[in-house]
């Protein structure tokens, strides 16, 4: 009787060698599918923290080219420049979707004089000033549109040129959020700067600029 019961149990149980790999494969597929659903849900439900009282920290890198007209009492020159700016920033949302803050900037500029020609230059600039930014869409979205305005003042030096400067910048573009706190932004805009050289000369710079930034929204 015991032998018959043992045979019946053995006959009704699945063959071990035949289904083991199949079960492991099903388990692996289920785990991968579950992980994909978690990541997809996290991205689809990601939204920014744009509420009053939250902090905004991050940074922006900008690259742009421009033409320069330099004038003095004795001669005029024209030049073309390329510039790279690195700007960390700290801001605070005074109301929903509107933030004000402070932004220092380090800049490296390389250029070449077109007229009369032949002269190259490499200048470093440092400045700091306030900024404001406004987000046009609600924070329920995992993307947004931001406009950024800033005014900064500082000093520059390199070669024989030293002096003070002021600059105004206007940028706008899309922001894509990875989660409720971190977003990457792609900005396009315009910059206008005025430089006062120690020798009494002045220079006006204006042109097109592109920026890529990473921002972190900190909940209150």
pLDDT in tens, 71-124: 777 777 788 888 888 999 999 999 999 999 999 999 888 888 777 766 777 878
Residue 158 has phi, psi (to 5 degrees) of: 155, 125
The whole-angstrom separation of Cα 15 and Cα 123 is: 77
* pLDDT for res 145: 96
Cα(first)–Cα(last) distance of the chain, in Å?
Answer: 73
Please check whether residue 29 lies inside any domain of the structure. Answer: yes
Please check whether residue 152 lies inside any domain of the structure. Answer: yes
Residues 164 and 105 in one domain: yes
Q: What percent of the chain has pLDDT over 70?
A: 75
Burial class of residue 135 in the structure, from the number of CB atoms within 10 Å of its CB (0-12 exposed, 13-18 middle, 19+ buried) = buried
Please check whether residue 17 lies inside any domain of the structure. Answer: yes
Residues 77 and 113 in one domain: yes
Residues 66 and 39 in one domain: no
The whole-angstrom separation of Cα 198 and Cα 34 is: 65
Which domain, by its residues, includes 120?
A: 55-218
> How many CB atoms are located within 10 Å of the residue 192 CB?
14
Residues 20 and 77 in one domain: no
ω into 116 cis (within 30 of 0): yes
Please check whether residue 49 lies inside any domain of the structure. Answer: no
Residues 6 and 115 in one domain: no
Q: Do 79 and 72 form a contact (C-beta atoms < 8 A)?
A: no
Residues 13 and 88 in one domain: no
Please check whether residue 50 lies inside any domain of the structure. Answer: no
> How many CB atoms are located within 10 Å of the residue 136 CB?
10
Residues 74 and 140 in one domain: yes
Least confident of 4-13, 51-60, 78-87: 4-13
Please check whether residue 210 lies inside any domain of the structure. Answer: yes
* pLDDT for res 195: 85
Residues 136 and 93 in one domain: yes
For residue 130, list its beta bridge partners.
Answer: 102
Residues 161 and 66 in one domain: yes
| Number of domains into which the chain is organized | 2
pLDDT digits (tens, 9 = 90+) for 177-209: 988 789 999 999 999 988 888 767 788 888 888
Residues 34 and 81 in one domain: no
Residues 29 and 127 in one domain: no
pTM of the predicted structure, to 2 decimals = 0.64
CATH number of the CATH domain containing 147: 2.40.160.20
Residues 151 and 66 in one domain: yes
Please check whether residue 208 lies inside any domain of the structure. Answer: yes
């Amino acid at each position: 009787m015991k032998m018959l019961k043992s045979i019946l149990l053995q006959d009704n149980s699945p063959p071990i060698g035949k289904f083991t790999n199949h079960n492991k494969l099903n388990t692996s597929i289920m785990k991968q599918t579950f992980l994909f659903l978690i990541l997809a849900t996290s991205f689809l439900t990601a939204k920014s923290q744009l509420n009053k009282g939250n902090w905004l920290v991050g940074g922006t890198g900008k690259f742009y080219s421009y033409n320069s007209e330099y004038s003095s009492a004795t001669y005029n020159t024209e030049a073309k420049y390329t510039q790279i700016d690195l700007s960390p920033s700290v801001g605070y949302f005074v109301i929903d979707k509107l933030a004000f803050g402070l932004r220092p900037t380090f800049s490296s500029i390389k250029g070449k004089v077109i007229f009369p020609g032949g002269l190259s230059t490499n200048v470093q600039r440092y400045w700091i000033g306030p900024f404001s930014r406004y987000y046009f869409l609600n924070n329920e979205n995992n993307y947004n549109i931001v406009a950024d305005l800033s005014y900064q003042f500082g000093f520059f030096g390199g070669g024989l040129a030293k002096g003070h400067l002021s600059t105004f910048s206007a940028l706008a573009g899309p922001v894509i959020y990875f989660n409720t706190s971190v977003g990457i932004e792609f900005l396009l805009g315009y910059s206008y700067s005025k430089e006062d050289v120690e020798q009494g000369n002045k220079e006006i710079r204006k042109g097109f600029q592109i920026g890529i930034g990473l921002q972190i929204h900190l909940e209150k």
